[in-house]
Amino acid sequence: MEAKHDVLIVGAGCAGMRAAIEAFDAGADVALLSKIHPVRSHSGAAEGGINAALGNASEDDPEKHAFDTVKGSDYLGDQDAIEVLCNEAPDDVYQLEHWGAVFSRTEDGRIAQRPFGAAGEPRTAYAADITGHVLVHVLYEQVMKRDIPTYEEYFAWQLVVDDDRCQGVIAWDLLNGGLKTIGAKTVILATGGAGRLYVGTTNAYACTGDGMTMALRTGVPLKDMEMMQFHPTTLAPTGILITEGTRGEGAYLLNSEGERFLKRYAPNAMELASRDVISRAEQTEIDEGRGADGNVLLDMRHLGAEKIIERLHGTRELAMTYAGVDPIHEPIPVRPGAHYHMGGVDTDLDGRTDLEGLYAAGECACVSVHGANRLGGNALMETITYGKRAGRHAADWALTHTTIEVPPSLEADAERELRRLLDRTDGERPWSIRDQLAETMHENFGVFRREDQMREQGEIVAGLRERYERVVVEDKGDVFNNDLTQALELGFLLELAESMVVCGLARKESRGAHARPYDYPDRDDENYLKHTLVRWREGPVLDWKPVKMTKWKPMERTY
């Protein structure tokens, strides 16, 4: 064991860092562990904003926020979790401002809030169009202030489980090489999503679902895995994100005929309808031949140069660099891209999983706050509120429990397994498995899903997993071997993909991001108002979990 801590947090994005700060302030010996430097975390790519019922732009209250979230989740969200989020959100946002977050301001100097998708009131607090970046930096400043030890560029690979408790993490030290074990009384997974399952994704290369698969491999269940959100405005071919904030500021979505086509799909909310509704609308327009080269057009010209330069400067930079268009003069071609995983590690309201000592928070967790579809701006809020809750609970638990036991046999097994991978010289390079996975997921498990395609995808993934058994790492060195870590990431993705497909097949209805217009076009509350749960026992095994309802009964969902 290299070291031991009370609380070890894997992943240092917004959720991880917020948890670390909370655990530190609660008096625990806490450490962060991340395969990239904390400020490189993908939370920093979030753009549009963070939701809280501050009431700075209009009369608002947490109950309205909660209802919008429940409806947005297509009634699959757990309402107690949603209420907790919406009630605690305002104070959590004020805390960020007290730490120095550089929010945009209203005329009277309050935190500015903009309208966002599927929100009844403008409650998305923002910092121009770089909100995630601003939050990552303010949190990292607070981490530096407390001098919280950080295992930087440590690739977490396996959870240490002994005596029915999670007792630490086995990680590959990327800078120096070698497997290192860090013992901890509690481990919080804050590793983000798995957008890299898809070929067009807003996600960074680092988003490979590491924590979710690590949890899965210990027998901990994952919830709602079929729910992957496709963000309506991403650039082709990479999937780089163009923020919903553009639509919040008034941008239009047009098809190739110059029509604001959303009037046929979401006549009330139009461009600010729920993301799943808009992605489906776009995909339909494209499939029916009214796309422009496989895209629709995001038109901001009418907003004017001043507003674009002031509030959407980052967006303009992205459009000019990656799409070759200046949004002041031309519309941006966009299409749906894999963006956010509503599903994840099943947790309770304090981030606890069903493995003692193991927690999860942020995108890799599923409380569930977002159900079958997430509102824009709620993800950042979840990282903060649930990061804080998990950090506090983990610290309190760790401070009242003792001992950490890491059996040497676990470390030896891990060494052996890694050696087997590293020593292999005959086989396949990971990239073609990775690319085929991403292309077929896009094709067969995208915005619209069909029974036969999902079944086929299940077989394709099984075949890819077999090929993965013979994958070759070319770099055999110790120093900065990300050829090795990238191969391990592919392993994480493959198991997640298999789990997702099983859940997708099992849910025989259309709800939120899971759209089956050809075989099950309607929502079926009678049979499917429940979460999918998947556990790994030599393969994914399906189960169900009821949805927690407090105030709201499912209603027809239109925008």
Partner 1 sequence: MHVALKIWRYDPESGERELRDYELEAPEWACLLDVLDLIKDQQDGSLAYRKSCRMMICGSCGMRMDGRAVLACKERMKPIVDRGHVPVISAMGNMPIVKDLVVDMDPFWSKIRRMKPWLEPGYDEVLEQERIVSQQEMNVIQKESLCIMCGCCVSECNSMESDPEFFGPAALAKGFRFVGDVRDQASVERLEDYNDEHGIWDCTRCYFCNERCPKGVDPRDAIAKLGAESIKEGIDRDMGAKHAKWFVKSAETTGWLRETELVPKTQGIVSAVKQTKFAIGLAKKGKVPPPIPPHVAADVGEARALHQLVREQGRAGALGIVQGERALARIEHTDAGGARRDAPEVTPGEEPPKAEG
What binding mask, one character per residue, do residues 164-203 give for partner 1 by CB under 8 A, x or -? -----------x----------------------------
Q: Of 18, 247, 275, 374, which residue is the catalytic one?
A: 275
Q: Among residues 292, 482, 530, 548, which is the contact residue for partner 1, using CB under 8 A?
A: 482
Residue 171 or 240 with smaller CB distance to partner 1: 240
Reference 496, options 448, 441, 453, 415; nearest CA is: 441
Among 162, 451, 456, 475, binds partner 1 (CB under 8 A): 475
Could you say whether residue 423 binds partner 1 (CB under 8 A)?
Answer: no
Distance CA 382, CA 23 (A): 17
The residues with which 544 forms a beta bridge, in sequence order, are 532
C-beta separation of 250 from 302 below 8 A: yes
Nearer of residues 103 and 492 to partner 1, judged by Cβ? 103
User: If binding is defined by CB under 8 A, does position 97 make contact with partner 1?
Assistant: yes
Q: Which two tokens stand for residue 97?
A: 């401002």
Determine whether 420 is an active site residue. no
Q: CA 140, CA 152: separation in Å to the nearest integer?
A: 13
Phi, psi of 205 (to 5 degrees): -60, -25
Shorter beta-carbon distance to partner 1: residue 70 or 384: 384
Single out the residue of 1, 102, 270, 462 in contact with partner 1 (rule: CB under 8 A).
102
Asked if 141 interacts with partner 1 (CB under 8 A), we say: yes
Residues belonging to the chain: 559
User: How many of the chain's residues bind partner 1 (CB under 8 A)?
Assistant: 64
Q: How far is CA 162 from CA 169, 185, 357, 512, 532, in A?
A: 12, 11, 11, 38, 27
Query: CA angle, corner 487, sides to 483 and 489, nearest 5?
Result: 115
Listed ranges 136-144, 211-219, 222-230, 526-534: which one lies at the site for partner 1 (CB under 8 A): 136-144
CB nearer to partner 1: give 137 or 401.
137
The DSSP secondary structure of 185-228, one letter per residue, reads: EEEEE-----GGGSSSBSS-TT-S-HHHHHHHHTT--EE-TT-E
Q: Is 240 in the site for partner 1 (CB under 8 A)?
A: yes
Residue 483 contacts partner 1 per CB under 8 A: yes
Residue 327 token pair? 């949004």
Binders in 145-164 for partner 1, by CB under 8 A: 145
User: Which contiguous run of DSSP H or E holds residue 299?
Assistant: strand 296-299
Tally of CB atoms within 10 A around 544: 12
Q: Smallest gap, in angstroms, from Cβ of residue 471 to partner 1?
A: 11
Applying CB under 8 A, among 206, 220, 227, 547 the residue interacting with partner 1 is 206
Q: Find the shortest distance in angstroms from Cβ 102 to partner 1.
A: 5
Dihedral of CA atoms 466, 472, 478, 482 in degrees, nearest 10, equals -70
Nearer CB in complex with partner 1: 40/530: 40
**Min. distance of Cβ 157 from partner 1 in angstroms?**
18
Residue 44 binding partner 1, by CB under 8 A: yes
Residue 178 CA to residue 171 CA, distance in Å, equals 8
End-to-end CA separation in angstroms for the chain? 54
Which residues in this chain contact partner 1 in the complex, by CB under 8 A?
Answer: 36-37, 39-42, 44-45, 54, 93-95, 97-100, 102-106, 108-112, 127, 130, 132-134, 137, 141-142, 144-145, 175, 204-206, 237-238, 240-241, 309, 314, 317-318, 320-322, 429-431, 473-475, 477-483
Residues with a catalytic annotation lie at 275
